Structure 1
Amino acid sequence: MTKNITVTLTLLLLTNISNAQQLTPFTSDGCSRFPNGTPAQQDLWLECCERHDFAYWRGGTYAERLSADEALEACVADLNEPIIASLMYMGVRVGGTPFAPTDFRWGYGWTEYRGYRALSEAERREVARAIDAMDPLESARLLQPSVLKHSATPKEQHTEEQLDSPPQDGPANNQNKP
């Protein structure tokens, strides 16, 4: 009887390990379905988009996504493009949901759908390992200033409950796959 329980527990543990989330290396498609700049300056806000992609690759909570989207808007607005910044903000708020099966959704770096969950300690270590494996100049460019810690004032005040709960654009139980 004890042997059966030991074998069962071992199999469950191995199954759990094999189903663990895997983080793919960071990739960016620039501004996704939006131009990377103006006709005169074709890469004007490309770095803003790449930093935004880095936050989306990592994923996390609804509050972290909102912060990343606001940081993108602020970055582009700082380039004297406030109208473009607003358009991009609206686009990423609609198109970046983790509930759509796109290659630019929130949390796209993870092999499995993860919704708006906070990163576990193991997932944070996985992100840190991926950053360490990157070219140092590339990681410094993506992390300085970091969209993950953007300190811009939010457009409106949100309660913690609002920020940590999924919006109305997807299933209430964010464990479900799209």
Structure 2
Amino acid sequence: MTLPALTEALELPLEIPHHERLAAQKTDPRNALAAFATDGCSGGLSAAWDAFASWIGEFRQVHGKLPPWQHCCVDHDRLYHAGGARDATPRESFDARRAADLALRQCVLSTGVERTPALAGEYGLSQGQVAALYRAIADLMYRSVRLGGIPCSALPWRWGYGWPHCD
């Protein structure tokens, strides 16, 4: 069994009951999707980046006040906010969440590709070393959202956070 197949075999049975609860919230006619809101990169990443950039001017000059992949996080938040189609089955919701998480990972990797030549020169690293760092960042973000984004958790960045909390 491949690692992705094994991962899905472990995630699916643990997560489907949460998607079932979210589906009940989304199909309840008394519930409505709240207006979209985002915190940028969740888990305090954007806020910590901003604080660090405010504190260290050289860092801010090279990397900016917000993570260079901030747009990836906001796009990801748009998908998480809605939690998939309102009429999605639990399995469709699971698949949509995984697709959103993979898209976040790919977006961060693409940002790294764009920034690699400049960062390699700035820090005296090889382009392969910069690419490896971005792979590590993208993989860590992917694993973080897979673990922390399960629907119907108490977390504010959960899949379907635009819907009322699940019972």
Aligned with 1:31: secondary structure? coil
Change (3 A) 1:100 1:112: closer
- Alpha-carbon distance, 1:83 to partner: 1.3
Partners of 2:145 and 2:44 in 1: CA distance: 10
Partners of 2:103 and 2:165 in 1: CA distance: 26
TM normalised by structure 2 equals 0.53
What are the superposed Cα offsets for residues 49-77 of structure 1, whole Å, 9 maximum, x if unpaired?
Answer: 00000000010300000000000000001
The answer as to whether partners of 1:21 and 1:112 remain within 8 angstroms in 2 is no
Partners of 1:108 and 1:99 in 2: CA distance: 8
Partners of 2:44 and 2:164 in 1: CA distance: 25
The answer as to whether partners of 2:152 and 2:165 remain within 8 angstroms in 1 is no
Given candidates 96, 107, 115, the residue that maps to 1:75 is 107
2:72 matched residue in structure 1: 48
Given candidates 41, 45, 52, the residue that maps to 1:31 is 41
2:155 matched residue in structure 1: 102
The answer as to whether partners of 2:154 and 2:165 remain within 8 angstroms in 1 is no
Larger RCO, structure (CA 8 Å, separation 6 or more):
2
Percent of counterpart pairs with the same letter?
38
1:134 matched residue in structure 2: none
Partners of 2:102 and 2:29 in 1: CA distance: 33
1:131 matched residue in structure 2: none
Partners of 2:109 and 2:82 in 1: CA distance: 24
The answer as to whether partners of 1:26 and 1:57 remain within 8 angstroms in 2 is yes
Aligned residue type for 1:54:
R
Partners of 2:36 and 2:152 in 1: CA distance: 20
TM normalised by structure 1 equals 0.50
Listed as ranges, the matches of 1:134-173 within 5 Å are none
Structure 2 unmatched ranges of 5 or more: 1-27, 54-58, 85-92, 113-133
Please identify, of 50-59 and 104-113, the stretch whose mean Cα deviation from structure 2 is larger: 104-113
Superposition RMSD on alpha carbons, in Å?
2.2
Query: Runs of at least 4 residues of structure 1 off by over 4 A?
Result: none
1:120 matched residue in structure 2: none
Change (3 A) 1:88 1:34: farther
Structure 1 unmatched ranges of 5 or more: 1-17, 114-176
